[in-house]
Structure 1
Amino acid sequence: MILVTGATGAIGREVVRRLPADQAVRILARDPSLVTGAPATAEIVAGDYRDPQSLGRAMDGVIRAFLVTSRIGGDDDARLVRSARAAGVRHLVKLSAAAVRDSGADDLITRWQRGNEDLLRDCGLEWTLVRPRSFMSNTLSWAASLRGKQVVRALYGASPNACVDPRDVAEVVVRALTEDGHAGRVHTLTGPEPISAVEQTDQLGRLLGRPLRFEEIGPGEARAQLAQRQPPDVVEALLASAERQRAGAKARVESTVLELTGRPARPFRTWAGDHLEAFAAAPEQQGGR
């Protein structure tokens, strides 16, 4: 039995879609009605990381588990590991972040992920760490602005990021969950090339067949926008991450996807082409004068 957490997120939902049809799968979700694309045979259970009893029920009979946490600075990883150990789970596959290996990254989010990795290494169970660079799907946050004003407004538009297709991350996770040979390994995942927000905007415009423009905002405006959705310490962590990207810290390309799947990582153009509907203008916006 494999347990998947985070099944309603960018990576988790792709993982459940790719698990073998004959694989026994249990999915833990706070709201099971939000889980989509799971195999017909999957068992979907309600639970919460802060509810030890629900975690214990979810871990019962599980051999391998995929761990996804998002409460920055919280102890959800520790709760999951305790439940896994008590239930006799043998192998944990953890979604982490590529920034963990960057010695220049010392923001709140990276420190939290480093602590989670240390927890996994010391837990006494087999473990695999999956460290993706930023997800290509993060550009979906531009969709409303592109549909309405044909513009992307973001910080440091020329800074490169070797962002990765969530589907490539999911394929590696599935291999770690279903194959032998991944215990004790760290898989750092990137796309095939570094790409900037300006270049992403240009590629989207070409695919959509309409002119788009990029407008760069400053750190002050970026901070104000982020503060509408995030607490202050997370805002500062995200701004520090953007500064590291501007300095080139996120441009390095890894060949891990090719090595583990036998094919190159998907470029941004491929991801964008497969998700154009999200960026398409409403019918009343598609005409011209």
Structure 2
Amino acid sequence: MILVTGATGTVGREVVRRMPEGAAVRILARDPARVAGADSRAEAVFGDYGDPVSLAGALRGVRRAFLVTSRVGGDQDALFLRAAGAAGVRHVVKLSAAAVEDDQAQDLITRWQRESEHLLRESGMEWTLLRPRSFMSNSLSWASSVRADHVVRSLYGASANACVDPRDIADVAVRALTEPGHTGRAYTLTGPRAISAVEQTDELAALLGRALRFEELGTAPARMLWSERYPPAVVDALVHSAERQREGAKARVESTVEDLTGRPARAFRSWAGAHLAAFMP
């Protein structure tokens, strides 16, 4: 039995859609009704990291698990791994982040991911770490301004990021969950080339068939924008991350997606074309 967490999120929902037909799959979600795209034989169950009874029930009979946590600085990893170990789970595939490999990245989010990876490696269970660069889907945050004003606003728009399509992350996750040979491995996942927000704006404009303008945000406006969604410590982490990107720390391209799937990583244009409706009036 394979357990998939984060199944209503960006990567988890793609993992659910890509699980082999007929595989024994259980999906943990706070709202199982929101789970979409699963095989009809997959079982969606209620579960919450803070509810040990629900975790124990969801993990019963599970031997492999895909782990996604989202509460920065929280104890979700510790709670899940404790329950998974007690339930006899043998192998956990964890969604982490590429920044953990950057010694100069010492922001809150990266430190939390490093600590979470350490917990898994010390858990006694077999492990696989997926370390994606930024998600191409992060550009969905521009959708409202593109629709309303034909504008993309971003901090350090000329800096490049080897961002990755969440579908590629999911393809690798499914292989790690269903094939031998992935335990004890850490996979850094990137797109086929580093691309800047300015270049992404041009790609979107070409696909939409209309002109788009890029507007450079200063640090203060970016902080104000992010503060509408995140607490101050996370905003500080996002600014630090953007500064590391400006310094070139996120431009390196890896061949991991192609090495593991046998095909090149998807380009930003492919991702944008599949999500173009979000940017259309």
TM-score (norm 2): 0.99
- 1:30-41 → structure 2 map (5 Å cutoff): 30-41=30-41
Cα drift, residue 229 of structure 1: 1.0
The residue type paired with residue 198 of structure 1 is V
- 1:191-230 → structure 2 map (5 Å cutoff): 191-230=191-230
- 1:76-91 → structure 2 map (5 Å cutoff): 76-91=76-91
Cα drift, residue 77 of structure 1: 0.2
Residue of structure 1 in register with 2:68 after alignment: 68
Residue of structure 2 in register with 1:21 after alignment: 21
- 1:166-245 → structure 2 map (5 Å cutoff): 166-245=166-245
Cα drift, residue 34 of structure 1: 1.1
Distance 2:148 2:225 in 1: 18
Give ranges in structure 1 of 5+ residues lacking alignment: 282-289
Distance 1:126 1:249 in 2: 30
Cα drift, residue 257 of structure 1: 0.3
Cα drift, residue 221 of structure 1: 0.6
Distance 1:158 1:174 in 2: 34
Partner SS for 1:154: strand
- 1:1-289 → structure 2 map (5 Å cutoff): 1-281=1-281
Identical positions, percent = 70
Distance 2:164 2:154 in 1: 19
Partner SS for 1:127: strand
Cα drift, residue 17 of structure 1: 0.1
Distance 1:228 1:193 in 2: 31
Q: Which runs of 4+ in 1 moved over 2 A?
A: none
User: Can you list the C-alpha shifts for 1:22-74, whole angstroms capped at 9, x where unaligned?
Assistant: 10000000011111111111100011100001000010000100000000000
TM-score (norm 1): 0.97
How many aligned residue pairs are there?
281
Q: C-alpha root-mean-square deviation of aligned residues, in Å?
A: 0.5
Distance 2:39 2:13 in 1: 11
Contact kept, 8 Å, 2:201 with 2:214, in 1: the verdict is yes
Partner SS for 1:214: strand
Cα drift, residue 261 of structure 1: 0.2
